[in-house]
């Protein structure tokens, strides 16, 4: 396996659509980077630029320290798994998996050995003689994965590989893939719009929006210190609550409520008068009795998820959601909401960037 890096990557399509807008990142050897973003944000284009399926308008792509901009996709020694699987319908699974080795004139015995080994690893040995149309979605997915693995590439590029699977299978494959790639010591670049996949599988997440990387960091960093409102909203479910506040005499004020500033804020100097307060539903405690420091609210609606319930509350003029245990979930009536001081995020309402303090 090897490192993959891109530097100042731009892709502008002939219709002047800027799909990739100055993207740089570095995936270390054996690293697992996820490009996370909504559909149409350019994350797949980044992957295609690395694979060589598109030519960058400018910028550099490095695989294993070598500049590969002018190399044919096959010579870059990266393997790609497509969302649609893209298996060759007229070839059986063995040939689908072995086709790269055959084109590379690898000796026959080695092709046999490697393909069968990979099939065994993926539990599809008994399907090798079948054509793709005789396989289920999950099996096709494994063959597509096998086609990538058998090449022993420098890096794996995966474009939403799980999104065509049903929920149960997707959850299982998520774990399987993570285990598989870590056992192989693979370098992986993974594209998804599913934050759960991104959080569970990767060691680094790059959140992409409109062709730009919004934030790059570990899943914990992305979750705990989102760089802007977009990242804060995109990662985490249910979504983060936002409240428009003003800073008045050292307190965050909204409507008739106010809260102390996060303890980390040493001085309000340099902070704008208006801020956007962000707090995740899981960082709110909902109480049935008036408690000092807790804000009075009205419980509107329950959305039971089983283990947890999303409780929608009216906090003055603001609507917020809190994650509560099913026992605490009851519609109607007054509640008191406690904000976990250390978990409050402050953003600039104009730039939507995280405020530095």
Partner 1 sequence: MQDLGSGMLRKGCFILATAGLLLFSVGPFGWEVLTSIKPSSEIAQSPVVYVPSRVTFEHYVALFARRDFGGYLVNSAVVSSLATLLCMIAGMLAAYALAKLNIPGSPLFLVIVLAVALVPPIILLIPLYEMMRWADWINHRGALVLPYAALNLPFATLVLRAFFRQIPQDLLEAARIDGFTRVGILFKIIVPLSAPALATTAILVFVFCWNEFIFALTFITTDAYKTIPVGIAGLSGVTSPYEIPWGLISAAAVTGTLPLIVLVLIFQRRIVQGLTAGALKG
Beta strand pairing status for 345-347 and 58-63?
A: unpaired
Give the span between the Cα atoms of 281 and 80, in whole angstroms: 37
Among 4, 23, 80, 297, binds partner 1 (CB under 8 A): 80
In the complex with partner 1, the residue whose CB is nearer, 151 or 335, is 151
The yes or no reply on residue 66 touching partner 1 (CB under 8 A) is: no
Among 38, 123, 137, 250, binds partner 1 (CB under 8 A): 137
The yes or no reply on residue 147 touching partner 1 (CB under 8 A) is: yes
Give the span between the Cα atoms of 222 and 232, in whole angstroms: 8
Residue 22: both structure tokens together:
């100055």
The yes or no reply on residue 334 touching partner 1 (CB under 8 A) is: no
The yes or no reply on residue 287 touching partner 1 (CB under 8 A) is: no
The yes or no reply on residue 17 touching partner 1 (CB under 8 A) is: no
Among 19, 79, 213, 284, binds partner 1 (CB under 8 A): 79
The yes or no reply on residue 103 touching partner 1 (CB under 8 A) is: yes
Among 60, 100, 116, 343, binds partner 1 (CB under 8 A): 100
Angle at 151 between CA 102 and CA 51, to 5 degrees: 105
Residues 149-168 that bind partner 1 (CB under 8 A): 164
In the complex with partner 1, the residue whose CB is nearer, 89 or 333, is 89
In the complex with partner 1, the residue whose CB is nearer, 31 or 153, is 153
The yes or no reply on residue 73 touching partner 1 (CB under 8 A) is: yes
Among 36, 49, 51, 329, binds partner 1 (CB under 8 A): 51
Closest CA to 296 of 328, 250, 259, 242: 259
In the complex with partner 1, the residue whose CB is nearer, 74 or 264, is 74
The yes or no reply on residue 93 touching partner 1 (CB under 8 A) is: no
The yes or no reply on residue 281 touching partner 1 (CB under 8 A) is: no
Among 35, 63, 87, 329, binds partner 1 (CB under 8 A): 87
The yes or no reply on residue 135 touching partner 1 (CB under 8 A) is: yes
Mark 317-332 as b/e (b = at least 16 C-beta within 10 Å).
Answer: ebebbbbbeeebbeee
Q: To which H or E segment does residue 315 belong? A: strand 309-315
The yes or no reply on residue 107 touching partner 1 (CB under 8 A) is: no
3-state secondary structure 115-179: HHHHHHHHCCHHHCCCCHHHCCHHHHHHHHHHHHHCCCCCEEEEECCCCCCCHHHHHHHHHHHHH
Closest CA to 111 of 156, 146, 158: 146
In the complex with partner 1, the residue whose CB is nearer, 146 or 219, is 146
The yes or no reply on residue 55 touching partner 1 (CB under 8 A) is: no
Q: Taking contact as CB under 8 A, which single stretch among the options 66-74, 120-128, 217-225, 311-319 is the one that binds partner 1? A: 66-74
Nearest approach, Cβ of residue 183 and partner 1 (Å): 23
Give the span between the Cα atoms of 248 and 233, in whole angstroms: 26
Nearest approach, Cβ of residue 151 and partner 1 (Å): 8
Give the burial class of 186: count Cβ atoms within 10 A of its Cβ; 0-12 exposed, 13-18 middle, 19 or more buried.
buried
Coil vs helix vs strand at 106 = coil
Give the span between the Cα atoms of 31 and 23, in whole angstroms: 18
Binding residues vs partner 1 (CB under 8 A)? 48, 51-53, 72-74, 78-80, 82-90, 99-100, 103-104, 131-135, 137, 140, 147, 164
């Amino acid at each position: 396996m090897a490192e993959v890096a891109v530097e100042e990557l731009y892709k502008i399509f002939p219709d002047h659509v800027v799909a990739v807008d100055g993207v740089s990142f570095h995936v270390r050897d054996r690293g697992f980077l996820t490009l996370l973003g909504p559909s149409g944000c350019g994350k797949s284009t980044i992957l295609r630029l690395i694979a060589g399926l598109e030519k960058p308008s400018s910028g550099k792509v490095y695989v294993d320290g070598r500049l590969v901009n002018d190399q044919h996709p096959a010579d870059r020694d990266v393997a790609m798994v497509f969302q649609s699987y893209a298996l060759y319908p007229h070839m059986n699974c063995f040939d689908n998996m072995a086709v790269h080795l055959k084109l590379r004139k690898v000796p026959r015995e080695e092709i046999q050995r490697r393909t069968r080994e990979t099939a065994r690893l993926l539990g599809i040995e008994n399907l090798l003689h079948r054509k793709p149309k005789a396989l289920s979605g999950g099996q096709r997915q494994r063959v597509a994965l096998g086609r990538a693995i058998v090449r022993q590439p420098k890096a794996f590029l995966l474009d939403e590989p799980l999104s065509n699977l049903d929920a149960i299978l997707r959850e299982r494959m998520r774990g399987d893939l993570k285990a598989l790639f870590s056992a192989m010591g693979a370098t992986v670049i993974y594209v998804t719009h599913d934050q759960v996949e991104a959080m569970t599988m990767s060691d680094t997440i790059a959140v992409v929006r409109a062709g730009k990387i919004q934030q790059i960091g570990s899943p914990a960093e992305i979750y705990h210190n989102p760089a802007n409102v977009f990242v804060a909203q995109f990662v985490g479910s249910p979504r983060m609550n936002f409240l428009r506040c003003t800073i008045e005499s050292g307190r965050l004020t909204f409507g008739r409520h106010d809260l102390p500033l996060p303890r980390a804020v040493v001085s309000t100097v340099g902070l704008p008068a208006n801020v956007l307060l962000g707090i995740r539903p899981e960082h709110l405690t909902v109480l049935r009795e008036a408690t000092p420091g807790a804000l009075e609210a009205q419980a509107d609606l329950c959305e039971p998820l089983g283990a947890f319930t999303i409780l929608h509350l009216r906090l003055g003029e603001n609507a917020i959601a809190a994650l509560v245990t099913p026992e605490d979930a009851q519609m109607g009536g007054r509640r008191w909401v406690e904000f976990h001081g250390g978990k409050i995020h402050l953003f600039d309402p104009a730039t939507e960037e995280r405020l530095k303090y």
